[in-house]
């Protein structure tokens, strides 16, 4: 069996897909397969991919349906013991897959997570401090795990810095959501794994490199009001379908992420953000969250969302967003 299947969705990635694939081919773990799913690109992406002559690479071309759908296509073909998801504009350290695969195999982990490094065009680097942890954790109380690790983002909401045991994903029918219906397919995938995960291995070393370009930054922060609406549709679905023991823990996550996205809207057309702050549903999430094991910072923030005038609450959300 192949050790790791690396799934790379790409849409119009002619400028970056080459360096991405090279970083995967240069892994110290050689027993891998690379499944590139071309999501309806109309640029020279396929021309770049044709340059690579390596029988470990499979290229599939699909009609444009979004990153989540492309990843689902890749998962159906994957043969590896573990699954890795790498974005077409990012690169991974040479030892990433070997270190993570060995940790997963030795600890029989459902998920292995490494650290994250952000690299900017001017050469600046920033390692996400929340993700710095070395530990193997048995998940016996899922709600407690969500409170302590997922909501504070120690267990990051990204998937790119993780590998997932393929049988764990397949046995629990976990797949990516529809990008046209939801933002943050990474988030919904992670929340679904939390319903079943029994063991996770954390590696602090930042093997995954997010290449932060001006284009990716502007894309991630446009249509913030639409993002806010679709994100809350996601939380509504996840909370309603969650087992009873983790519903309130998911409301804690929903509260923090929603406040962050409210902060992203502050200063633009903020009507939808104000409406969310005042909504009975959101206030119910906040009340449930305050019963969880919040950090002091989050407890003060969520209390302010409940009690402060809307204008002040909006400014507090902006501070969280801009931190």
CATH number for the domain including 99?
A: 3.90.550.10
R_g of the chain computed on alpha carbons: 20
SS3 content of the chain, % helix, strand, coil (to 5): 50, 15, 35
Same domain, residue pair 213 and 225: no
Whether residues 35 and 125 fall in one domain: yes
Domain that holds residue 35: 4-217
Q: Tell me: do 241 and 206 sit in the same domain.
A: no
Clarify whether residues 197 and 236 are in a common domain.
no
CB atoms within 10 A of CB 128: 17
CB atoms near residue 256 (< 10 Å): 22
Query: Which residue, of 193, 217, 241, is where some domain finishes?
Result: 217
Based on the fold, state whether residues 19 and 139 are members of the same structural domain.
yes
Is the same domain home to 245 and 192?
Answer: no
Alpha carbons 95 and 100: distance in angstroms, whole number = 8
- Together in a domain, 190 and 108: yes
Of 196, 217, 238, which closes a domain? 217
Q: Does 227 lie in the same domain as 80?
A: no
167 and 292 together in one domain = no
Is 174 in the same domain as 297? no
What tokens appear for 162 in the block?
């993780």
- Say if residue 212 is in the same domain as residue 230: no
Boundary-marking domain end, from 217, 235, 262: 217
37: β partners: 9, 60
Q: Which residue stretches of the chain have pLDDT < 70?
A: 179-183, 214-225, 266-270, 321-323
Structure tokens that stand for 42 in this block: 């109309």
What is the predicted pLDDT for the residue at 215? Answer: 58
Say what the pLDDT of residue 308 is: 86
- Count up the domains in the chain and report the number: 2
């Amino acid at each position: 069996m192949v050790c790791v299947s690396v799934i790379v969705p790409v849409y119009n990635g002619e400028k970056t897909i080459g360096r991405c694939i090279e970083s995967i081919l240069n892994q110290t773990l050689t027993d891998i397969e690379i499944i590139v799913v071309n999501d309806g690109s109309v640029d020279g992406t396929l021309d770049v991919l044709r340059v690579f002559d390596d029988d470990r690479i499979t290229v599939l071309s699909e009609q444009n349906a979004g990153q989540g759908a492309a990843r689902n296509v890749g998962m159906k073909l994957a043969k590896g013991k573990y699954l890795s998801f790498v974005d077409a504009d990012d690169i991974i350290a040479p030892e990433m897959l070997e270190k993570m695969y060995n940790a997963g195999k030795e600890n029989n982990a459902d998920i292995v997570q490494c650290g994250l490094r952000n690299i900017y065009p001017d050469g600046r680097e920033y390692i996400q401090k929340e993700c710095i942890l070395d530990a193997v954790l048995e998940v016996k109380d899922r709600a407690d795990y969500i409170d302590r690790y997922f909501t504070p983002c120690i267990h990051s909401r990204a998937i790119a810095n993780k590998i997932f045991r393929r049988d764990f994903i397949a046995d629990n029918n976990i797949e990516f959501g529809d990008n046209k219906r939801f933002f943050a397919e990474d988030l919904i995938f992670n929340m679904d794994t939390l319903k079943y995960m029994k063991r996770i291995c954390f590696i602090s070393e930042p093997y995954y490199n997010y290449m932060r370009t001006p284009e990716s930054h502007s894309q991630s922060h446009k249509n913030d009001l639409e993002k806010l609406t679709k994100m809350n549709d996601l939380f509504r679905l996840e909370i309603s379908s969650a087992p009873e023991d983790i519903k309130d823990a998911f409301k804690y996550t929903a509260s923090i992420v929603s406040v962050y996205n409210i902060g992203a809207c502050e200063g633009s057309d903020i009507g939808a953000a104000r409406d969310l702050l005042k909504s009975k549903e959101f206030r119910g999430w906040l009340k449930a969250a305050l019963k969880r094991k919040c950090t002091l910072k989050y407890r003060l923030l969520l209390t302010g969302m409940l009690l402060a005038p809307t204008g002040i609450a909006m400014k507090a959300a902006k501070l969280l967003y801009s931190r």
